[in-house]
Structure 1
Amino acid sequence: MEKKRLPIVLQLTCMFILVIFLLVSVLGFTVYKLKSSGQTTEELVKHNVTSANLVKAGHLEFTGALLDMRGFLFYPDGAVYEQGYREKIKKSSELAKEFSDTSKVADTREDGILLAKLVNDYVVLGDKVIAAKKANAPNLTQLTTQGRNLVKDIDDQFRKLDTQQQKYISERANAVLQDATATGANALIYSIVIACIVVCMAIWYSRNLARRLKNINNELAEVGNLNLTGKDVYPTRNDEIGDMGYIVIEMKKSLKGFVSQVTNSSQILSSTSIELSDSVSEQLKAVETVAESVTNIAAGSSQNADNISNISATMEEISASSEEINASTAEANNNAQNAVVEAARAMELLSQTVTQNESITASMDQITTVTTNLDQGSIKIKGIVDLINSIAAQTNLLALNAAIEAARAGEAGRGFAVVAEEVRKLAEQSAGATDEIAKIIDNMGNDIIFAVSTVKKANQEVDKGKSSAIATQKGFDVIIEKMDMVKNEIEHVAASMHETSLGIQTVVASVENITTVAHATSASSEVVAASAEEQTAGMHEIDTNAAKLAQLATEMMEIVKKFKV
């Protein structure tokens, strides 16, 4: 089953998206936690400090009302004190009721309701005391005693509420502080883990890419050195580098077939050249015999019949040898043409290899572009880190505002001032954590630069493979040139053999004329002698061409031996 294709650009894009997703997740988690802590702090300032201030203000108003009540009881003209008492006790009652209505904690709400009831009871008792004082009633002492007891209960209730509020504020502040501290630590840990994952992925991918390109370069180098004995290494991934690996394997197979075909053709050509040379030698001897016979015919007509018979038999042998030579020459020409075709196919495969090298170079340029985009993505992440720094600064400002509110609250806001200070420290810690994240991103940028360097090295390896393929292509250009020379020489031999065949036919015709026209022996002998001379010259030319053909076959065998199959 064919593996799903994953181009190199798609692989790098998926890695980049994964890294961005992880970083954005960590940053989103950190921002969420910081905003949650800010909201909790704001709620703490808005509700709990306000409630504490209500308790303090109500207690102060109640204490002022008690002082006015004492002034009313001890001074004869107590109208002013009576008015002050009524205003302050009313204010204290309203503050107690507001506290019980706005409290969000069940315990403090119940205690606030009890406080409001006690204050209302004191208002009723205070009206009775004022009326008894104005009327000089005998139960005034009894009423004041009841008032002192009720005042003690009210003071205890105010102190209890104040203690509860301080305890609640302290607990909430500690919870906010612990949550913020844990958030900062988690963000730092997650950032370090993600940075380690990104670095490991970048190193693993760059090394894997360089290893695959090195394997292909080694195979191309072996082909460039004419070594075809290496084991085929099939690609493990369906991408551009895998395509190049398959093309290299197919090229090696075609080259092996081509070298085998050229070797066989060279052997056949060599043996054919030897046979041709031997046949030419025999024909040359036969032609010399014909020439000698013609001379004898011219010298003595008494031996014409015998010599003509010998000439006829010899010419028949020459004709048969000529046909064999023509057949051998045709076979050699056919083999040479097949070798040229195979060489052309090998050249086409080499051209495909060079084209694939150019495609790989383009893909490596795309990889460099994606890596540059990854570097730009890290710059954008730095912008997000700056946003976190801004949020931390806002949190610090919020803590400062909380400290101001706590200072306004006086003693009641002292505990919250401590909390505000801790929140401010937490904001500074968050800013420090973001600085650490920025450093980690800088390290990631260095790793990205390392990946770019690795890609450049891979490009160099591809260029080496391309040079090896070009060198191999030049070697095959030489082989094709030699094959063309062999083909041309074979064609020359075929043409010479054709001329020789025509000459033989002429000699045969002349011999027939000699047998039929005995009286024209002298003239026919001259014609035969001339034809024999032409035949001799043609046979010498054939012998020379056969020697050249044998030399070319030897040179081609030496070239083929350079290949290791």
Structure 2
Amino acid sequence: MKLWQKIAVGFSVIIMVNILNFIILMYQEQKQEVLQHRVDDAVEKQLTLKQIVADHIRWKVNVLVAILNEKMPRVEVNPSLCRLGKFLNRVSATDPEEKRILNSLSSIHENMHQGAYKMQALFRPGAEVDDVFDAMTDIYNRDINKTSKKVFELLDRLEKIYDKRAEDAILAASKWASITRTLSITLNFLMLFTAVVFGLWIARSITKPVLTLKEGINHLAQGDFSKDIEIKGRDEIGEVAHAINGMLRNLRPLLKKISDGAKVIEKEAATVEAYSENAAHGGELAADRAGKMLMVSEGIVQSIIEEGQSINEISSAIQEISQSTTRANEIVNNAVEKAQVAGDTINRLGRVSEDIQGIIKLIGDIAEQTNLLALNATIEAARAGEAGKGFAVVANEVKELARQTADSTEEITNKIRAIQTESQAAIDITGEIIEIVGQINELISAIAAAVEEQTAVITDIASKVDEQNQGAQNLVEEAKVAAEAARSAVEGARQNLENIKKLLQLAREFEEDVRKFRV
């Protein structure tokens, strides 16, 4: 069943329930109108009967007044013209009891008015009545009083019938209203229940297939083409699922062919890649060897050039060494003289240090004597008591100054001793320097003689190096040609190998993408 058909069925059921509810409400309204009409009719008749009773009471009173006054009663004698007569003419009985009462009222009511007519006849011309009062009283008692009591009794019974009819109609209306209300509430609950059931049915009819369809589409999004979407419905969602299943059945063979083709392409590309790698590897070896030969040749040329430069530099260096040797000889002689002067100066510094040490010893003795004097002054100040406190303070200051002088003297003595030690070490080192400088002077003289001998040998080596350089230049040119040819071959092989690798990578990626789809 289609979704719109399901929705149409649900709405049709709800509409039918609403129509049924409307029909019941309309019927109830009509029934209420009928019952209300009955109530109104019964109430109206009750009011009419009350008015009839009142009219006939007044009618009897007027008759009695006429009897008492012995006059002709001025009352209605035609039963069809009074209110009760008109009522009896227009009313129709709806049940047997009412019909019997109405029939009885009609005859009795006529007799009652007939009595009034008889009374009026007593006062007509030609009437011969011995005693009018007795005659009227006799007619009243015989034809009016008894019949009026029966009329009132029947009217009371008729009023009770109408009262009961009104009560029955009201009770029936209330009962029917309760029944109608119960039916309406039941139908409303039924409609609500139908709407809920219909909503759940529609929701289940839509939600479950949609979830199944969503799950199937998620499998497709993940590349799983091996399962059909299992939706058995014939609605729009089922048609979509059937269409997707048809698409899957058409795609599976195609994906399998693509997967097989990708594997073949990958296999062939791998074979071509292996051949290309071998060719590229051989070209690289040849290019590498040519490059190495070129590098060796260039290295040889560079070495020869560097040797020539080195020989020239050696020649220049030897000349500079010769000149430097002469200058070094002069500098060494000057250094010897300076070292001797420094040694003499240091000797004099040692003697001055000894003199200073004597002076420092004298200062230390003075500080010791001052300390003793300060101690004696402190003792004397203590003996003097309060008067010697100021002198004691001065004595303490002098004592402290003497102590600081002794400490400084000791420190100066230590530093002078250190200077003397260092001066003696400098004197010893100066002597060693003078001895070493003498040895250097002898070595420089020997170097100068050797430099003169090597100058001729280096000149001969320089000429031979120039000849080797020319031959190496020719070798380098040949190696460059071979290396360029090898590089061209290797570049072509590499380009071919790169293209094949790209093809192989594409084949692998293609095969990997196809492998994601499970068929």
Q: Give the TM-score normalised by the residue count of structure 2.
A: 0.51
Residue 276 (structure 1) shift: 4.2
**AA paired with 2:177?**
A
Q: Distance in 2 between matches of 1:543 and 1:165?
A: 120
Residue 36 (structure 1) shift: 3.1
Instruction: Return the match for 1:243 from 215, 239, 245.
Output: 239
Change (3 A) 1:254 1:115: same
Verify: 1:178 aligned to 2:175, yes or no: yes
Residue 222 (structure 1) shift: 1.5
Corresponding residue of 1:59: 53
Instruction: Return the match for 2:187 from 184, 187, 190.
Output: 190
**AA paired with 1:562?**
K
Could you tell me which runs of 5 or more consecutive residues in structure 2 were left unpaired when the two chains were aligned: 284-486
Corresponding residue of 1:121: 111
**RMSD across aligned positions (CA):** 3.9
Corresponding residue of 2:248: 252
Corresponding residue of 1:263: 259
**AA paired with 2:241?**
G
Residue 92 (structure 1) shift: 7.4
Deviations 1:136-169 (A, max 9, x none): 3576665444233333322222222222222222
Residue 40 (structure 1) shift: 2.9
Change (3 A) 1:150 1:228: same
Residue 221 (structure 1) shift: 1.4
Corresponding residue of 1:105: 94
Secondary structure in structure 2 of the residue aligned to 1:135: coil
Residue 556 (structure 1) shift: 2.9
Residue 282 (structure 1) shift: 9.8
- Higher-Rg member (1/2): 2
Deviations 1:423-454 (A, max 9, x none): xxxxxxxxxxxxxxxxxxxxxxxxxxxxxxxx
Contact 2:279 2:493 (8 Å CA) reproduced: yes
Percent identity (aligned) = 14
Corresponding residue of 1:438: none
Residue 543 (structure 1) shift: 5.9
Deviations 1:170-216 (A, max 9, x none): 22222122112211221122112101211221233124312222221
Corresponding residue of 2:152: 155
Change (3 A) 1:152 1:537: closer
Contact 2:213 2:241 (8 Å CA) reproduced: yes
Q: Distance in 1 between matches of 2:166 and 2:501?
A: 113
Corresponding residue of 1:23: 18
Secondary structure in structure 1 of the residue aligned to 2:223: coil
Matches within 5 A, 1:502-513: none
Change (3 A) 1:66 1:564: same
Matches within 5 A, 1:89-488: 90=79, 93-107=82-96, 108-131=98-121, 135-137=129-131, 142-147=138-143, 148-229=145-226, 231-276=227-272
Change (3 A) 1:44 1:276: same
Change (3 A) 1:539 1:100: same
Matches within 5 A, 1:539-558: 545-558=499-512
Residue 563 (structure 1) shift: 3.3
Corresponding residue of 1:479: none
Change (3 A) 1:42 1:152: closer
Verify: 1:69 aligned to 2:59, yes or no: no
Contact 1:236 1:242 (8 Å CA) reproduced: yes
Corresponding residue of 2:286: none
Could you tell me which runs of 5 or more consecutive residues in structure 1 were left unpaired when the two chains were aligned: 288-532
Q: Distance in 2 between matches of 1:284 and 1:59?
A: 140
Q: Distance in 2 between matches of 1:120 and 1:559?
A: 117
Q: Distance in 2 between matches of 1:105 and 1:164?
A: 11
Q: Distance in 2 between matches of 1:548 and 1:183?
A: 86
Worse-superposed segment, 181-190 or 100-109: 100-109
Corresponding residue of 1:42: 37
Q: Distance in 1 between matches of 2:515 and 2:275?
A: 29
Secondary structure in structure 1 of the residue aligned to 2:233: coil
Q: Distance in 2 between matches of 1:144 and 1:539?
A: 156
Change (3 A) 1:50 1:537: closer
Q: Distance in 2 between matches of 1:139 and 1:270?
A: 148
**AA paired with 2:260?**
N
Contact 1:54 1:99 (8 Å CA) reproduced: no
Deviations 1:377-407 (A, max 9, x none): xxxxxxxxxxxxxxxxxxxxxxxxxxxxxxx
Change (3 A) 1:552 1:122: closer
Secondary structure in structure 2 of the residue aligned to 1:236: coil
**AA paired with 1:553?**
A
Secondary structure in structure 1 of the residue aligned to 2:76: helix
Contact 1:55 1:162 (8 Å CA) reproduced: yes
Q: Distance in 2 between matches of 1:169 and 1:540?
A: 118
Contact 1:219 1:248 (8 Å CA) reproduced: no
Corresponding residue of 2:401: none
Corresponding residue of 1:524: none
Q: Distance in 2 between matches of 1:551 and 1:239?
A: 46
Matches within 5 A, 1:517-556: 545-556=499-510
Secondary structure in structure 2 of the residue aligned to 1:95: helix
Q: Distance in 1 between matches of 2:494 and 2:68?
A: 163
Q: Distance in 1 between matches of 2:240 and 2:140?
A: 107
Secondary structure in structure 2 of the residue aligned to 1:30: helix
Residue 23 (structure 1) shift: 2.2
Contact 1:57 1:92 (8 Å CA) reproduced: no
Residue-pair matches, total? 310
**AA paired with 1:161?**
L
Contact 2:38 2:169 (8 Å CA) reproduced: no
**AA paired with 1:202?**
G
Q: Distance in 2 between matches of 1:98 and 1:235?
A: 80
Contact 2:277 2:497 (8 Å CA) reproduced: yes
Q: Which has the higher contact order (CA 8 A, sep 6+)?
A: 1
